[in-house]
């Protein structure tokens, strides 16, 4: 008996199709989440860099107001 002639072959191929489809959706979801995390990480780095720049600039202006004297 050939596999394609079996009555249950339809169920077998349907099950494989559902499994592979679910796996493809899961992998696509992981890839999209990874991309989103990479973007978020880059945004956080930019914010951190801007905060460093602004804190350096504010410390320079406060030093110049104090005449360069530190406590």
**12-46 pLDDT per residue, tens:** 999 999 999 999 999 999 999 999 999 999 999 99
Q: What is the pLDDT of residue 67?
A: 61
How many whole angstroms from its chain centre is CA 62? 39
pLDDT band at 58; cut points 50, 70, 90 = confident
């Amino acid at each position: 008996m050939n596999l394609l002639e079996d009555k249950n072959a339809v169920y077998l191929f349907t099950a494989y199709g559902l499994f592979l489809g679910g796996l493809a959706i899961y992998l696509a979801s992981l890839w999209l989440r990874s991309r989103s995390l990479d973007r978020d990480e880059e945004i956080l780095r930019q914010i951190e860099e801007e905060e460093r720049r602004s804190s350096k600039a504010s410390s320079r202006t406060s030093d110049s107001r104090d005449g360069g004297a530190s406590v």
